[in-house]
Structure 1
Amino acid sequence: MWFWQLQRDITTIRIQSGIGQQTGARTRPLVLASLYLPIEEHIPPKEMTDLIKYCEDENTDLIIGVDSNAHHTLWGCNENNKRGMTDSPLCRACMEEDETPLHVMLSCRGVTEQRATYIGSSATLHEAIGDLGGLLSFWSELGWME
């Protein structure tokens, strides 16, 4: 083992290739990386793209563990931030159905308390949008008015 890179927010260790115990064949080298992404900095940082390029060029396997400062209520945070968002179509509050306004306003189990507080436990869309102020407060409380 040897340190390949040690900087403020990234540490990597390269494990040299060896002989596989089961097959007797040479194994590929492996780089293990620990990366911290400060909230105010651009993603991906240059150090990360350089590391990925290095591993691709050297035909080296790579495993990255990341603290991305991604906040989401699904993970027990009190708030969501842009890094906590996902490209998945699943609802960020319950991960059970596609996230649509109708799902969130009428049936999402992940926002039951907020929905009850601001728009009631409405059974229909007409009831849910009957109080525009409550509806705006509901979306604002969720932090999803982006």
Structure 2
Amino acid sequence: MSFDPQGGRAFGLLKAQQEEGLDSINQEFLADPKYRDEEDLDSKLEAFKKKYMEFDRNDRGDIDMMGLKRMLEKLGVAKTHLELKKMMSEVTGGATETISYKDFIRMMLGKRNGILKLILMYEGMAKDDGEKPSGPPPKKMIADLP
């Protein structure tokens, strides 16, 4: 197996271009009067961008069915093909087979609670629950039982 030093550099350049494109879309939403009353819009958009880039596996600026499947599996919420199609349709209105970044933002900022939005919001809340205990649990004695 040979190592291609250009591969990593090319991937980094591709990701930088993708991030630049998503930043441009974020600016459109920041300038849109429809979203001006949205609290912490700038930080929300930044978080959405990071989450979106994590699951845009084809690096084409959209999340396809396989990207959605991997996203949900990584979050521990495996879905059937039919459920994935339903989620995709909820987000895109049935117009396309991929989720664009604009569709993704509209879903996350929208008032409707679609399945995918609820899963992503729950995943975000689970991360914010604070520190998890580490190491083995403390030993219990029979006298400690209720």
Q: TM-score range by the shorter chain?
A: under 0.3
Higher RCO structure, 1 or 2 (CA under 8 Å, sep 6+): 2
TM-score, normalised to structure 2, is 0.24
Q: Which has the higher helix share?
A: 2
Q: Which has the higher strand share?
A: 1
